Each structure stands twice: as structure tokens, then as C-alpha cells.
Amino acid sequence: MKIKLIEDGNLTSWLRLLLIVIGTVFVVVAIECKLEIFWARVFLLLGFAIALIGGMTSRAKLLHIKPFDNSYKKARDSYKTKDDKNNE
């Protein structure tokens, strides 16, 4: 069985939810646990970053945006002319 991480140009729903939950857990650990100030800051910033990635990909899914798609390569190739191909 092969696990898919990217589906239709976006992260899968279980992975988006997992990123949000892991980010939230990191933030809670940073705030509630008695950690050294350096490690508390690391966990807090890392938690915000992970949750941000999960949240932004969820919003992209709602707006039907495909942030992990390779369609831009096709668009870039469509602008090439015959002269560009001959020069290469």
C-alpha cells in the first residue's frame, strides 16, 4: 500500500489536519511546560510554522488552488517561440 501525501496538487486532508494538530501541540508544550526559554521559543515558532503550513494548504483547498502542482511548467513552455528553440 502506497501512502499519498499530495493529491490533485494539494496536500491530502489527513496530512493537513495532522500538521495543524502537531503545530498546536508544539505551541501548547511551549506555553504550558517548564522549558528553558530557548527551547520554549523554538517550540513556539516551530509550532506556529507547522500549523501555518497546514492552515494555508487547507485554505488553498477551499479556494481550489493547487500550490504543489507542476502546471506552471506547461505555461512557461507555451511562451517559447521557434527562435528560442533554435538558439538552444
Tell me, yes or no, whether 2 lies in a domain: no
How many alpha carbons lie under 13 Å from residue 19 in its C-beta half-sphere? Answer: 19
Q: Which range marks the domain in which residue 58 is found?
A: 9-79
Residue type, 34: K
Residue 88, in any domain of the structure: no
Give the residue carrying C-alpha cell 506555553: 31
The domain tally of the chain equals 1
Question: Looking at residue 82, what is its pLDDT?
Answer: 65
Which of 67, 54, 61 is closest to 27 using CA atoms? Answer: 54
Per-residue pLDDT of the chain (88 residues), as tens digits, is 788 888 888 889 999 999 999 999 999 999 999 999 999 999 999 999 999 999 999 998 888 888 777 777 777 777 777 666 666 6
